[in-house]
């Protein structure tokens, strides 16, 4: 079996749901759905798709860095948003981080996320 590293960030939901913030197997890293929480676990940017997308991507970047990777290693992202009518706000923030990297990306509307304050959740896959 390949060596596996599970990265925990100590988030409250990790032990309840039974997941890791990110999992690395060989040269691949899978980052779980990531939302706009700060270091204290509070949701930032309530009502603001751009701010929430930026915070989510910063959280993804932090997880990748802890496993020796960066956003440059990202090959795919998936964005789950609660209001597709505001897609450009999410997309432009995503573009600020990935305009030169250009991973494969999906943006889909969902009816809701785990907290009504959350507007976006983003997954990322990276290769070293």
Among 98, 107, 31, CA closest to 71:
98
How many whole angstroms separate alpha carbon 128 and alpha carbon 34? 20
pLDDT digits 0-9 by tens, 57-115: 999 999 999 999 999 999 999 999 999 999 999 999 999 999 999 999 999 999 999 99
**Domain annotation for the chain: domains and CATH numbers:** 33-123 (3.30.1330.40)
Residues in the chain: 128
Residue 1 confidence (pLDDT): 53
Report the pLDDT averaged over residues 14-31: 93
Task: Give the pTM.
Answer: 0.94
pLDDT band at 6 (very low <50, low <70, confident <90, very high): very high
Closest CA to 120 of 34, 59, 41, 38: 34
Q: Is residue 13 very low, low, confident or very high in pLDDT (cuts 50, 70, 90)?
A: confident
């Amino acid at each position: 079996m390949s060596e596996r590293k599970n990265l925990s960030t100590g988030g409250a939901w990790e032990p309840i749901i039974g997941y890791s913030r990110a999992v690395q197997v060989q040269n691949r890293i899978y980052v779980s759905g990531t939302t706009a929480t700060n270091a204290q676990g509070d949701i930032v940017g309530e009502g603001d798709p751009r701010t929430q997308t930026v915070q989510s991507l910063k959280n993804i970047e932090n997880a990748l860095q802890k496993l020796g990777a960066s956003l440059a290693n990202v090959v795919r992202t998936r964005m789950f948003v609660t209001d597709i009518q505001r897609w450009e706000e999410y997309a432009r923030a995503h573009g600020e981080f990935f305009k030169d990297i250009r991973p494969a990306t999906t943006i889909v509307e969902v009816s809701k996320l785990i907290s009504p304050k959350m507007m976006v959740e983003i997954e990322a896959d990276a290769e070293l």
